[in-house]
Amino acid sequence: MDDHSLGVLMKFDHYMPVPIHFGWGRLSELGEVAASLGRRALVVIGRGSVRRSGALDRALDSLKGAGVEAVVFEGVPPNPTSMVVYEGARLARSERCDLVVGLGGGSSVDCAKGVAVAAVGDRPVWDYVTGELPKKALPVVAVPTTAGTGTEANPYAVLTNPDIKEKRALNRPPFTYPRASIVDPELTLSLPPRQTAITGMDVLFHALEAFVGNRSQPVVAAMAEQAIRGVARFLRRAVRDGADREAREGMSWACTAAGMAINGGGTTALHGMEHPVSTHLDVSHAEGLCALSGPYLRYLVDV
Ligand SMILES: [Fe+2]
């Protein structure tokens, strides 16, 4: 790999304000973290896996133990839509929530970011995607249960507008940065092999794209390298044996490191090409990336 720290006349900005609480069992600290940000949390989850795994109960216990009330918003689909965000925001307002917890895969956390903006904004969330600047947002705590999007370490929330068949990132720092993220590898233990594999490839492509992109800089390169090495070492192991704790931990860190890499470096044409694919076809983001990666990587080798 090129050493991006050896450049001359470097000029770059770096900003990553999210406190990351990384380690086994740290879901138990959710209540303490949340209590520093609010008193009544909207807990945004997907379609039931965090219920089945017990993660939701543990999260609710932790919140209750710290004196934080919780309202659960359940049913976020794999590609969260502006309509789902609207429903979540409406619930947050009617329940007078002052905090949003995103517990689940990237879709739940991204939806939580959208809800946090829409709940206190006076416009539909898509206006904030396309250019309107929020004046405020509820604080978000991100608790990822997959090693995939890295949304816990950046201000991006990928949302879909089904009316115009468009998928774009809500990217409104500082409001869409989580105010804190809990990255607990234990939460990934129940992820099935296929999901582990494709979300792990999302990690790889975040790191690769940030590294080769024209906004790469030393911090981006360092985080990307951590992520690429982590995927190379641990992804196969995590797919073959989901109970391999060292591999799960390695992938959780690779995911967060890749999230930090795209925080500074962004993504490139591969993610740009993928978003229309998973908007128009019934595939996940990671499946779309895998399908497009062959031609993209051949293009990279050529340039
Ligand atoms: Fe991605």
Determine the distance separating the centroid of ligand 1 and the alpha carbon of 266, expressed in angstroms: 10
Whether the CB-CB separation of 287 and 198 falls below 8 Å is answered with yes
Q: State the chain's mean pLDDT as an integer.
A: 95
Residue 3: what pLDDT?
53
Query: Per CATH, is 20-187 categorized as 3.40.50.1970?
Result: yes
Lowest mean pLDDT among 112-126, 142-156, 277-291: 277-291
Q: Which residues contact 64 (CB under 8 A, 6 or more apart)?
A: 31, 70
CA 233 to ligand 1 center in whole angstroms: 20
pLDDT-above-70 percentage for the chain: 97
CA of 149 to the centre of ligand 1 (A): 5
Which amino acid is present at 208?
L
8 A C-beta contact, residue 16 and residue 264: yes
Fold of 190-302: Dehydroquinate synthase-like, alpha domain (1.20.1090)
21-34 pLDDT, tens digit each: 999 999 999 999 99
The tens digit of pLDDT for each residue in 53-78 reads 999 999 999 999 999 999 999 999 98
Ligand 1: centre distance to CA 36 (Å): 30
| Residue 270 burial by Cβ neighbours in a 10 Å radius (0-12, 13-18, 19+) | buried
What residues does CATH 1.20.1090.10 cover in the chain?
A: 190-302
Spatial separation of the C-alpha atoms in residues 205 and 288, rounded to whole Å: 12
Residues of the chain with CATH 3.40.50.1970: 20-187
Distance 140 CA to ligand 1 centre (A): 20
Stretch 215-241: mean pLDDT, rounded?
97
The SS3 of residue 154 is coil
Alpha helices (H) along the chain: 30-35, 49-52, 55-65, 82-94, 106-118, 125-130, 193-212, 218-240, 245-265, 269-280, 285-302
Say how many Å lie between the CA of residue 291 and the centre of ligand 1: 13
Query: Which residues crowd ion ligand 1, with CB under 5 Å?
Result: 202
Check pLDDT > 70 for residue 7.
no
Distance 285 CA to ligand 1 centre (A): 7
